[in-house]
Structure 1
Amino acid sequence: MELVYSRREKIVGVFVLSVFALLFATVVMLGRGKDWFKSYVTYYTVFDESYNLQENADVKLHKATIGKVSKIDLTGDKVRVTLKILEDYQSRITKDTAVTVKSPTFIGDEYVSVIPGDPNAPVLAEESEIKSIPKKSIEDLLAEFQVEKTAKRLSAAVRNIADVTEALKDPEGPLFASLNELQTMLTNLAKATSKTPLTVDYVNSNLVTINKIGNELYFNLSNIRDLLKGVEIGLEHLKSSLANVDNASHDLPKIIHSTDMQG
């Protein structure tokens, strides 16, 4: 017997299949984002206390999440913490790797921080124990950052600032002495500035006088040049006259001899 579906039943069937396909795609996307479909390897570590660590807390390497805390058990006087590490990062867990508990802030959620060991060391086998390092207390953090020394330095700096403030308030102190010297310099500068117009006028007057002297000197030089030209012309005439006299001195004996012959 062949089943016959109406048009409405076909539409409903397609809708239901579409919903299931959408749900499946959503689950796949969420699973990829939450690493649901990735393989994990299991390790464990032991702490002296839980340090407020919770199940599903992150396991981080260089502050990047590489796994989760899957279980926390009390074993005797110790706390056993089971870790699920992504298989992709198993090669980072070597025999000298260590873990500790950290928190991003004083009020943040604690997480397990992986401290990498020698990359050339053998990889730690699955289900093995990773050695642990106790979580640092507030006292340890204060000692690490030398808060006490910093506080002492800050206190000394505050005292120095107070001493400097008192020194600045002292009328006989360096601040008021510097201000008085500055006032004196400003007064002298004001006096020098008030004399500046007179000095400028005096300089302008001297420049005018120098200009006049320069013009007169240029005129006198022109006259001297003309005078030298006249002297040069006179020398030429004198030279010509001397040449004539010289010629006459040569002709004079001949004239005297000629006169004696006629007598």
Structure 2
Amino acid sequence: MENNAKVQLRVGIFLVVGLIILLGSIFLLGADKAFFRSYTTLHAHFEQVQGLAEGSVVSFSGITVGNIKKINILPERNLIDIVMQIDNQFMPRVTEGSMVEIRTQGALGDKYIFIIPGDPKAKPLTENAVIEVAKATDILGILSERGNEAEKIFDIINEMHRFSKSLNAENRVDKILANMASATAKLDKTAGAAEKITEGLSDGKLKNTVDRLDSVMTKLDKGQGTLGALINDSSLHDQLKSMLGGSPRKSYMKNLMRTSIEKNEEK
């Protein structure tokens, strides 16, 4: 009985140890880590992680060199601290001046950290160093970096698409184009008429008209003619007013004045 109990205990211990080793192996392999390797911890501060998760791959020029160990929030700076573990065999290439950015891989759009190499002659980064984050330069990277602001851009595009569809309904675009063509034709006619008027005025007619008007105004200022006398001689104006006001001869005098003015203008 004692021997059976000892055997069962040994078997149980063996199974537990084997299970622990198996689970540890699965965890390490799932995190793309190898046994008996040392790692260096690096940090990168992002405004947003865009779907990164603990265990995501860290790539150096397309080669997997580590994983994301932890993701922390830096409340005092309103940033996300990405803690990365980099295999030490690649650390001599991760030098000062290297940068990181978030990229997408695969059809499912998995996010990972991509390390942009720095100067090979520079010093390698050390434990807990903060590596600089690269700014997005392409349109997709900028939209991905801006996050919620990119959604507003797509909303605007959708609204423009709906507006264009509403214009295309019931041949509205054709009607608008026809109206624009009609308005353009009318503008052309108006411009042609205005051009003819301008040509007529440029032939000297405008100058003659102005000269004649200036001559008439000069005569009025000098008191020439009946109208000039009426304007410049207030006593004559008063006499004429008293003569016409309420008199039976009012109609006759008006006709006489009109005839006299016309004769003076003919002269």
TM-score w.r.t. length of structure 2: 0.43
TM-score w.r.t. length of structure 1: 0.44
Larger Rg: 1
